[in-house]
Structure 1
Amino acid sequence: MKNNSRFFLHRLTLLAGLASWPLLAQDATPTPDSPPSIDELLPLPVEEPGEQPAAQAPLAPAAQPRVQLSESFAINLVNRLVERGVLTQADAQDMINLAKADAAAAAQEREALFTAAQTAAEAPPASDDEVRVTYIPEVVKDEMRSQIKTELLREAETKKWLTPQYELPHWVSTFHPHAEFRVRYESITFPGGNSNTGAFPNFNAINTGPAYDETGVLFAPQLNTDQDRQRARLLLRFGAELDLDDNFTLGIRLGTGDTNSPVSGNQSFGYANQTPGGAAQQQGGQFSKYAIWLDRAFLRWEPVESISISVGRFDNPFFSTTAIYSDDLGFDGLVLSAHHEVYEGIEPFLVIGTFPIFNSDLHVASNQPAKFESKDKWLNAAQIGVDWKISKDWNLKLATAYYDFRNVEGELSSPYIPRNIEDPGDTDHTRPTFAQKGNTYRRLRRIIADATNNNGTINQFQYYGLATPFRVHSITGRLDYNGYEPVQVSLLGEYLRNTAFDAAGLEEFAVNNRGGGGAFDGGDTAYYFNLRVGKPLMEKRGDWNAYIGYRHVESDAVIDGFNDQDFGGGGTNMKGYTLGAAIALSQRVQIGLRYFSASQIAGPQFKSDIIQLDLSAKF
């Protein structure tokens, strides 16, 4: 029992001694050069081991002498235990001897550690590659922590340390959804002086409906030139890209639209499509549901970072402006894109593609035993350019392109006599299936005059095709200045010319774009400029941009069915200004205002002013 109590008290004394160290340091802090001695820690007289303590008679509590005080917590504790009769004086002396030996060992160990640290600090580097650091700034510590964290997370992802018990399928991490939503208020006004006497036939309505009888008592479908309109419109697109193995990407997008127009995804609230006779169709109106169209569907392969091949229906792959291609236009076909930095800051690029525009019905004409020859339409195009970072603040992108539209012009049919409005000509399918306005048109049917049509005075059922071929050359450039970051100043310009246009050859059979005296007045040239100031990307609330632009697009410079749908109501044969500004309400929501002032170039007066207020969101 005595040995157990001595062992317990021995450990208790050691703990008490350790606890007393800070108290000693407050009174007389020892320095590494002169560590405290054991005698200073244990001030009471201590007998050497082996000596027998003198026998002492226990004192009555009332007769006990005052305990000898010490600055050591451990000594005082032992003395108080003797005073209380918990320990005998012999046990106490034994405990003090043990504490003395432990304290001496601790002091020697502390002195050895201090000596080693001092020697290491004074020693020179072992070699030129060895660096000793005695102080690390907080910024360096933060950077080290960040790097260690990044490396641990990368290793955790590689080794799947953080993989949950029920892991999601692999394709979920390769699925990248995106969406766009826009609500628009649009005001369309027509200044006084526009012609409303039948000078603006709607060739798209004619060519997509029953043939028009030129000798009839009814006007052909006409464009609105004099009645102001307001409308609210909706645009919604949603889609995704899915990363496949071996650098393949699958993309799809669905979207709204009044019709399947290639240049617009707008759906007018309450709008009901109508036939030329005015009969309502099923799309829209009276809170009816709206149609969703397949807007994009493609497969893209990128064998290396600088080359991509896409097939299907995808965004415009060319560097161009809305003077030739609408921002909403999708391209069907196959395209190869390549770019490579040949010198620091100089990166040439190349785009080559072939795109089917129209494929004749397999059974054309469906109501004839003998079928008609197919007249498929194609666009073959190539563009070469360079992206040049001139300096820190200046960047220039310049390109030239050649767009060869094959078989898009209308062809005159073989001579025949239409028996009724549904009796086709063998070139009816050369008419465009979609158009806006502005291109020059010609008649397609060569109708024989005989007794059945009263020598050509009745039953002249007619369709119309484009009067000229289109082989368009373009030069496109954009100059960016970033010296006012985060504000950018950007100038975009494009020059276009249809080299297949022959004004003299069109004089004979053009049915529109005629000026004073009835002479043909169309043209083959277009140019476009736009100056933009502000943030190129709307990334946070308060980001803004503003722009001003001018364009001059003659009647047959480009195909009117593919270019901007907003300026002047869409199409060609228009010139004028564009003003606009936008501001971000949040990272993904913005509000914008645009104003278009346009007037017709050739033919009777046609002017329009359009204001659009947009609230849009996307992710």
Structure 2
Amino acid sequence: MNIRNRVLDASTLHPVRRALLCGAVLLALGMPTGAMAAEETTMVKLIRGLIASGALRPEDGQALLLQAEAEAARASAGTAAATPAASTGGVALEAGDVRVPYVPQHVRDGIRDEVREEVMAQARQEGWAAPNEVAEWTKRIRVSGDMRVRSESRFYSDNNSDIEIDWAAINGGSGYDTNTNTNLVLPPLRNTRQDRRNLWRIRARLAVEADISERTRAGVRLASGSSDGPVSTTEQLGGGLSKKDLWLDQAWLSYAPADWVTITGGRFGNPFWSSDTLFSNDLNFDGLAASFDHDLPSGDLSLFGTLAVVPLEYTSDNSPSQSQVKTPNENKWLSGAQAGVNWRFNESNALRAAVGYYDYKNISGKLSSSCTLYAGAAGCDTDWSRPAFMQKGNTLMLIRDIALDPFDPANTPTPQYVGLASPFRLANLNLRWDTALSEDIGLRLEGDYIRNLAYDERAMFARANNGIVNNFGAGGGTGIEAFRSGDTAWMLQATFGATTLDKKGQWQALLGYKHIEADALPDAYNDPNFHLGGTNARGYYVGGAYAFDRRSWLSAKWMAAKEVSGAPLAIDVFQLEFNTGF
């Protein structure tokens, strides 16, 4: 029949439209010949409805409509002619007619329901059942990010020392020759007196997190950054309008074996609750961490804690490259533990407190065995002990014991690297109190105290074999009596207004003070803005912010800092920022 041919031609239709068309044809095929005559008007209306809804192309629908009308007319004539035969139990058929058995109504209803269920199941699976629905996997993925544009100015005192050696640059090169007979140039020096105004800088971060299951998650974050240093993702503009760098900032997997514990591995955000006095806000950790969070039955108290093992640096597998004897396995690690409590003692007041312990393994400098560089040695056996990254402030020691050429000792080059003179085992206490001054204004008071339990001046000089190179007082002495350092750091800060700026009209003001002695903590990982990073710094900072739009705010911050001890080094930093997050 021509109707059947039309159904086959519609095989490429959308599933819903195809189902409607099949239903119409089934309805037509399910009618006895006489019934088609009686239901002529219904069949024509059905086909016209399919055309109007788009289920049938107009040209196909018109053809079906004409054929349906013609077949209805023939059926009407056939019914009249076949009446005598019908009385004897049969129907007279003309040439080309096809006998269509009668399909009862309950059978047609069953076919219709079955088609509907199959189409809807396919729709739910493919996500096209409802216009506002999306595929299931998209509901398990979250995209977030933030953007910052900053104008930064740096102001240096005219009274600052102009001999501030850039030890990081020395460690990143081939060393500095300390023999004045073979080297007359100064080591690389930091800028300490020339102001730098209006440095335009940006920070951009984009993160994707996925809920793999109810207990397993994964995350990846990309970030800007002028270098691969760990403490900042800020990118400086300029550079001849060159393209800017993009780094893999985070990549982690986490699993929660229970509601109160989560284990995370890879590269992830700081798992400890701390201030930027100890860890920069941009610092991420490599390794493995387990975080705990448990609410006590009272409802007012909850306990939290973190354990983490962090590989800081692995020794090279093939160093020295030109030696048959390779460096032993001397990897550097951070092991940390923290435990704390949250106490909400009424609707307006909450206290958060934590104690932590951080043990840095193998990060101190080590004096090498006698090293015959003059005879072609590729390096010394403790070159690995120099820090992979450093800012400034920590006490440093020469790590190479360079042998002199017996035939020309006075003119033997002595290229040196430096390492950290002190080991670091830190005890840390954090406190925070939040209170509501009014409905829209809050007050947050924070304190952070850090003590290096491994600090020992005499042990440092013994380890360095009197090779300490910095942190001496006035007078030019280089002995232990002239040495100036310390093992303590602390911070106090008050924040007024809103603690987070996510609604238009919210504001914030803060005032704080920091005091960081030279060897209170490793200078590589703390805030790079205050005193331009590192330790041996003290001073105040003041700032404010205003949300001019939803999740968008302007902020300004002034930081005035100078040295705790040693040569004068005062640095003030002003930052004006436009921030937004999504």
- Find the partner of 1:522 among 485, 491, 499: 485
Matched, 1:222 2:177: no
Letter in 2 for 1:358: E
Matched, 1:253 2:221: yes
- Find the partner of 1:187 among 150, 153, 164: 153
Residue equivalent to 1:466: 420
Residue equivalent to 1:243: 211
Following TM superposition, by how much is the alpha carbon of 1:243 offset from its aligned partner in structure 2, in angstroms? Answer: 0.8
Contact 1:544 1:582 in 2 (8 A): yes
Structure 2 Cα separation of the partners of residues 161 and 176 of structure 1: 19
Contact 2:424 2:522 in 1 (8 A): yes
Residue equivalent to 1:352: 307
Following TM superposition, by how much is the alpha carbon of 1:292 offset from its aligned partner in structure 2, in angstroms? Answer: 0.5
- Find the partner of 2:541 among 570, 573, 578: 578
Contact 1:254 1:292 in 2 (8 A): yes
Following TM superposition, by how much is the alpha carbon of 1:585 offset from its aligned partner in structure 2, in angstroms? Answer: 1.4
Matched, 1:170 2:133: no
Residue equivalent to 2:386: 431
Find the residue that maps to 1:451 and give its secondary structure: coil
Contact 1:210 1:422 in 2 (8 A): no
Please list the CA deviations of residues 403-441 of structure 1 after superposition, one character each: whole Å capped at 9, or x if unmatched: 000000011111112138983111101111111000010
Structure 2 Cα separation of the partners of residues 434 and 421 of structure 1: 27
Residue equivalent to 1:212: 176
Structure 2 Cα separation of the partners of residues 522 and 174 of structure 1: 52
Structure 2 Cα separation of the partners of residues 267 and 383 of structure 1: 32
Residue equivalent to 1:599: 562
Pairing of 1:4-23 with structure 2 (within 5 A) = none
Residue equivalent to 2:267: 313
Residue equivalent to 2:165: 201
Structure 1 Cα separation of the partners of residues 376 and 575 of structure 2: 40
Letter in 1 for 2:146: E
Structure 2 Cα separation of the partners of residues 321 and 456 of structure 1: 50
Find the residue that maps to 1:601 and give its secondary structure: coil
Pairing of 1:56-67 with structure 2 (within 5 A) = none
Following TM superposition, by how much is the alpha carbon of 1:531 offset from its aligned partner in structure 2, in angstroms? Answer: 0.5
Letter in 2 for 1:411: K
Contact 1:506 1:520 in 2 (8 A): no
Pairing of 1:67-86 with structure 2 (within 5 A) = none
Percent same amino acid at aligned positions? 35
Please list the CA deviations of residues 316-340 of structure 1 after superposition, one character each: whole Å capped at 9, or x if unmatched: 1111111110000001111111111
Structure 2 Cα separation of the partners of residues 421 and 264 of structure 1: 39
Structure 2 Cα separation of the partners of residues 483 and 603 of structure 1: 43
- Find the partner of 1:264 among 232, 240, 249: 232
Residue equivalent to 1:130: none
Contact 2:352 2:431 in 1 (8 A): yes
Following TM superposition, by how much is the alpha carbon of 1:239 offset from its aligned partner in structure 2, in angstroms? Answer: 1.4
Structure 2 Cα separation of the partners of residues 266 and 229 of structure 1: 17
Structure 2 Cα separation of the partners of residues 491 and 232 of structure 1: 32
Residue equivalent to 1:560: 523
Structure 2 Cα separation of the partners of residues 308 and 488 of structure 1: 31
Find the residue that maps to 1:542 and give its secondary structure: coil
Residue equivalent to 1:478: 432
Following TM superposition, by how much is the alpha carbon of 1:303 offset from its aligned partner in structure 2, in angstroms? Answer: 2.8
Following TM superposition, by how much is the alpha carbon of 1:159 offset from its aligned partner in structure 2, in angstroms? Answer: 12
Query: Gapped runs of 5+ residues in structure 1?
Result: 1-157, 271-284
Residue equivalent to 2:494: 531
Matched, 1:502 2:456: yes
Structure 2 Cα separation of the partners of residues 541 and 241 of structure 1: 27
Structure 1 Cα separation of the partners of residues 221 and 189 of structure 2: 34
Please list the CA deviations of residues 187-246 of structure 1 after superposition, one character each: whole Å capped at 9, or x if unmatched: 1011221011x2x11111111112111122111111110110121101111111011024
TM-score, reference length from structure 1:
0.70
Residue equivalent to 2:368: 413
Letter in 2 for 1:464: V
Letter in 2 for 1:289: K
Letter in 2 for 1:240: V
Residue equivalent to 1:298: 252
Following TM superposition, by how much is the alpha carbon of 1:170 offset from its aligned partner in structure 2, in angstroms? Answer: 2.2
Letter in 2 for 1:300: S
Residue equivalent to 1:590: 553
Q: Structure 1 residues 421, 482: closer, same or farther in 2, change over 3 A?
A: farther
Following TM superposition, by how much is the alpha carbon of 1:477 offset from its aligned partner in structure 2, in angstroms? Answer: 0.6
Matched, 1:511 2:465: no
Residue equivalent to 1:91: none
Count of paired positions:
446
Residue equivalent to 1:38: none
Please list the CA deviations of residues 439-492 of structure 1 after superposition, one character each: whole Å capped at 9, or x if unmatched: 01001100123335x425540110000001100001111011124232210011
Letter in 1 for 2:380: G
Residue equivalent to 2:511: 548
Contact 1:470 1:558 in 2 (8 A): yes
Between structure 1 and structure 2, the one with the greater Rg is 1
Find the residue that maps to 1:505 and give its secondary structure: helix
Q: Structure 1 residues 462, 335: closer, same or farther in 2, change over 3 A?
A: same
Structure 2 Cα separation of the partners of residues 420 and 191 of structure 1: 46
Please list the CA deviations of residues 243-302 of structure 1 after superposition, one character each: whole Å capped at 9, or x if unmatched: 1024111100011111001001111112xxxxxxxxxxxxxx211111110000000112
Pairing of 1:357-368 with structure 2 (within 5 A) = 357-368=312-323
Residue equivalent to 1:387: 342
Q: Structure 1 residues 541, 414: closer, same or farther in 2, change over 3 A?
A: same
Q: Structure 1 residues 456, 462: closer, same or farther in 2, change over 3 A?
A: farther
Please list the CA deviations of residues 40-98 of structure 1 after superposition, one character each: whole Å capped at 9, or x if unmatched: xxxxxxxxxxxxxxxxxxxxxxxxxxxxxxxxxxxxxxxxxxxxxxxxxxxxxxxxxxx
Please list the CA deviations of residues 109-160 of structure 1 after superposition, one character each: whole Å capped at 9, or x if unmatched: xxxxxxxxxxxxxxxxxxxxxxxxxxxxxxxxxxxxxxxxxxxxxxxxx999
Find the residue that maps to 1:419 and give its secondary structure: helix
Q: Structure 1 residues 456, 250: closer, same or farther in 2, change over 3 A?
A: farther
Following TM superposition, by how much is the alpha carbon of 1:310 offset from its aligned partner in structure 2, in angstroms? Answer: 0.5
Structure 2 Cα separation of the partners of residues 524 and 513 of structure 1: 13
Contact 1:211 1:422 in 2 (8 A): no
